[in-house]
Amino acid sequence: MKFFIDTANLEQIKEAQDLGVLDGVTTNPSLMAKEGISGDENVINHYKAICAIVDGDVSAEVISTTYEEMIKEGEALATLDSKIVVKVPMIKDGVKAIKYFSKKGIKTNCTLVFTAGQALLAAKAGATYVSPFIGRLDDISTDGLALIEDIRLIYDNYQYPTQILAASVRHSAHILGCAKIGADVMTGPLSAILSLLKHPLTDSGLATFLADHAKAAGK
C-alpha cells in the first residue's frame, strides 16, 4: 500500500520523505489555507516546492466548480510538474472534467467521495485515484472502512484501474484497516504515519537491551 501525506506543510513533507516511506502528497484548499498560502502565484510556487521534495504524485485541487473553469484550472496545474494530479470534486461537472482529463492523459483524483456509487462513477469517468473520506464518515457514526471494502469489491469485479486512495485517515487503526482491505493508497497526517512506530514494549525492550549492554560492559 502506498503512503501519501495529507498536508501542505513543507517541514512535515520533508520529515516523511526523510523517513523513506513516502509515496506522494495530497493537499486541499483547507490545508493550503492552514499554511497561509493564498494568491495564484503563491499557490503555484507552493505546489512546485512540494514537487521538489517528493518523488511521487502530488494532488492539487481545483477551486472551480464549473466544467469549463475546472478544465482551464486543471490544465494549468498539470503543466506545473509531471507529478501533479488534478484533484476534482465529486460533482456532475467534476465527473465530466475527469472524463476530459482522462482522455488527455492528465492524472486525476476524485475527491469528497462518501458512497460506493460515487466511487463507481469516478472509475467509469477514468479517474486515476478515488478518495473516499473514511474519517469524516466515522465522525457521523458511519463505518468508513466498510466503504473502502465496498469500493474494493466493485473495482475488483470489473478490474477498474482507478486506485482507491483512502483519505481522511486519522490514526494507525485506519491505516491497518485499509491495508487489510487492500486499499491502493492511504493519505493521512504525519502523526498517523508516525503512530505506526509506537508500542510500549518496543520502548521498554530497547531500554532493557541498552541497560544490559551497559551492565555487561561494566559501565
Instruction: Enter the C-alpha cell of residue 207.
Output: 531500554
7 binding ligand E4P? (CB under 6 A): no
Please give the residues from 107 up to 146 whose contact with ligand E4P meets the rule CB under 6 A: 111, 131, 133, 135-136
Q: Is 201 left (phi over 0), alpha (psi -120 to 50) or beta?
A: alpha
Q: Does 6 bind ligand E4P (CB under 6 A)?
A: yes
Query: How crowded is the C-beta side of 4, counted as CA atoms within 13 Å?
Result: 31
| Site membership for ligand E4P, residue 164 (CB under 6 A) | no
Which residue among 12, 26, 108, 163 contacts ligand E4P (CB under 6 A)?
Answer: 26
Q: How many residues bind ligand E4P (CB under 6 A)?
A: 11
Q: Which is nearer to ligand E4P, 8 or 199 (CB)?
A: 8
Exactly one of 14, 34, 87, 104 is catalytic; which is it? Answer: 87
Contacts of residues 15-18 at CB distance under 8 Å and 24 or more positions apart, as own/partner, are 15/190, 16/190, 16/193, 17/53, 17/54, 17/55
CB 27 within 8 A of CB 187: no
Residues 180-219 binding ligand E4P (CB under 6 A) are: 187
Q: E strand or H helix at 60, and its extent?
A: strand 57-61
**Smallest distance, ligand E4P to C-beta of residue 206, A:** 32
Residues 147, 29: Cα–Cα separation, whole Å: 24
- Distance of closest approach, residue 208 Cβ to ligand E4P, in angstroms: 37
Among 85, 127, 167, 175, binds ligand E4P (CB under 6 A): 167
> Among this protein's residues, is 99 annotated catalytic?
no
Q: In sequence order, what are the residues at sequence separation of 6 or more whose Cβ sits closer than 8 angstroms to the Cβ of residue 174?
A: 134, 135, 144, 145, 166, 186, 188, 192
Q: For the CB of residue 26, give the shortest distance to ligand E4P in the complex, in Å.
A: 4
Give the active site residues.
Answer: 87
The site for ligand E4P (CB under 6 A) is made up of 6, 26, 28, 111, 131, 133, 135-136, 167-168, 187
